[in-house]
A = this chain, B = another copy of it.
Amino acid sequence: MSISFSPLNPPRRLLFGPGPTMVEPRVYQAMTKPVVSHLEPYFFEVVEDCRKLLRAAFGTANEFTLAMSGTGSAGMQTAVANFVEPGSKYAVLANGFFCDRLTEMGRRQGANVARLEKPWGESFDEDEAAEFIRKERPNVVAFVQAETSTGVYQSSKTICAAAHEVGALVIADCVTSLGAMPVDLDANGIDIAYSCTQKGLSCPPGLAPVSVSPRAMDWLRGRKTTPADWYLDLKLLADYYEGAHRYHHTAPISLFYAMREGLVCIAEEGIEKRQARHKRSHEAFVAGAGAMGLEMLVKPGRRLWNLNTPRVPDGIEDLKVRKRLIEWGDVEILGGFGPLAGKVFRVGIMGPLATEENVLLLLEGLEKALREEGFSPKGNGVEAAKAYYAG
């Protein structure tokens, strides 16, 4: 067997992509704490801390808030496998990659899928979506609050109200919003939300926070069919994480340590303050990008605060720009994919990177890289961002 036993030596990048993003040293250190048994009372204390702190980040009083032992995609599957029954009607608001994945997962559960479609990069007018829901009268409505493929934020108060009017439950993908911008489950009326740890929570990937409203838990406890998915069965997980602590699986202890530490960091800063910090970084970046002459894919007011999608200027190859950024300062941004391949950059500014210093660094590098690829900036992006911060 030819195998190199060289020590682990991953590149040290400034992760300005859509995630995974930067992890604080104290979060890494949390993972060096000794593993305990998955039935150890101390572990359940850690879990309870995480549940309380997750409720604050999700903006909910939902008792049933916890983390699945898988990545964000496992969170999506948890929502669909538990709440979309075979033969049920399932409505998806489709305007990006993750809406298509929600669709695919629903089909695999044997649901009848109805889709309201928008081009990637647009958001839904809530009244239009509400009308669609009243017409279709589905059992479940799914939408993406924070579309990682496009940078769109979807508001949802009217959508959720329409769903509840026809007796439907609402699933929202909050993978990119949690920890970085308002998720507001209760204020919006979202019944089932899932997220990940490696974006707005600034932790390593591997857990999927999930929150379920009492209304949805009531429905689930009355569900007659058994979900095909045993691993992500929320009723079994409720027995493990709540009350009885009945063995289900061996939770990834070290990742729970990391998530608790990351959530404590967020609580120490204050969730509103953290969200405001992301909003400022976003506005500073948009000011800088705009000064350079870059257009944003998404309309103002519909944009994610922590994931920006400036269009790639005509005649410029996004991959070449991204390579130059890596060479210049180990700055990693990502490109678009699907219908947006080559058309947008995906620039995540979150967690430890959402500061003036880092936004200016990023704009400096981006301007340099674009220039070297033949793009002539209209104005000075760094100065525009500085002016934003000063203003």
Residues of B within 8 A of A56 (CB): 1
Residues of B within 8 A of A390 (CB): none
Contact of A255 among B32, B110, B255 (CB under 8 A): B255
Residues of B within 8 A of A35 (CB): 10, 15, 20, 23, 198, 204-205
Residues of B within 8 A of A251 (CB): 71, 205
B72 and A250 contacting across the interface, CB-CB below 8 Å: yes
A260 and B332 contacting across the interface, CB-CB below 8 Å: no
B205 and A252 contacting across the interface, CB-CB below 8 Å: yes
Contact of A29 among B32, B73, B110, B205 (CB under 8 A): B32
Q: Can you name the residue of chain B whose Cβ is closest to the Cβ of A107?
A: B226
A42 and B255 contacting across the interface, CB-CB below 8 Å: no
Q: Can you name the residue of chain B whose Cβ is closest to the Cβ of A2?
A: B52
Residues of B within 8 A of A122 (CB): none
Interface assignment of A36: CB less than 8 Å from any CB of chain B: yes
Number of interface residues of A (CB under 8 A): 81
Contact with B along A1-19 (1 / 0, CB 8 A): 1011100111111010101
B81 and A74 contacting across the interface, CB-CB below 8 Å: no
Q: In the complex this chain forms, how many copies of it are found?
A: 2
Contact with B along A34-52 (1 / 0, CB 8 A): 1111101011001001001
Interface assignment of A327: CB less than 8 Å from any CB of chain B: no
Complex CA distance for A5 and B76, rounded to whole angstroms: 30
Interface assignment of A228: CB less than 8 Å from any CB of chain B: yes
Interface assignment of A215: CB less than 8 Å from any CB of chain B: no
Residues of B within 8 A of A198 (CB): 35, 250
Known A-B contacts A17-B37, A40-B11, A254-B31; A70 and B227 likewise in contact (beta carbons under 8 Å): no
Contact with B along A94-130 (1 / 0, CB 8 A): 0000000100110011100000000000000000000
Complex CA distance for A146 and B295, rounded to whole angstroms: 59
A206 and B254 contacting across the interface, CB-CB below 8 Å: yes
Contact segment of A162-170, A261-269, A279-287: A261-269
Residues of B within 8 A of A110 (CB): 228
User: In angstroms, how far is the closest chain B Cβ from the Cβ of A281?
Assistant: 20
Known A-B contacts A34-B13, A37-B20, A205-B35; A8 and B52 likewise in contact (beta carbons under 8 Å): no
A1 and B31 contacting across the interface, CB-CB below 8 Å: no
Interface assignment of A306: CB less than 8 Å from any CB of chain B: no
User: In angstroms, how far is the closest chain B Cβ from the Cβ of A389?
Assistant: 28
B40 and A248 contacting across the interface, CB-CB below 8 Å: no
Residues of B within 8 A of A46 (CB): 8, 10
User: In angstroms, how far is the closest chain B Cβ from the Cβ of A336?
Assistant: 12
Residues of B within 8 A of A40 (CB): 10-11, 13
Interface assignment of A257: CB less than 8 Å from any CB of chain B: yes
Interface assignment of A231: CB less than 8 Å from any CB of chain B: yes
A204 and B252 contacting across the interface, CB-CB below 8 Å: yes
A19 and B205 contacting across the interface, CB-CB below 8 Å: no
Complex CA distance for A232 and B74, rounded to whole angstroms: 9
Contact of A229 among B204, B228, B257 (CB under 8 A): B228
User: In angstroms, how far is the closest chain B Cβ from the Cβ of A231?
Assistant: 4
Known A-B contacts A20-B37, A198-B250; A109 and B228 likewise in contact (beta carbons under 8 Å): yes
Complex CA distance for A337 and B32, rounded to whole angstroms: 31
* 15 chain-A/chain-B pairs, Cβ below 8 angstroms: A1-B55, A5-B268, A8-B46, A8-B257, A10-B40, A13-B40, A28-B254, A31-B254, A37-B334, A70-B74, A74-B231, A204-B254, A205-B251, A205-B254, A228-B229
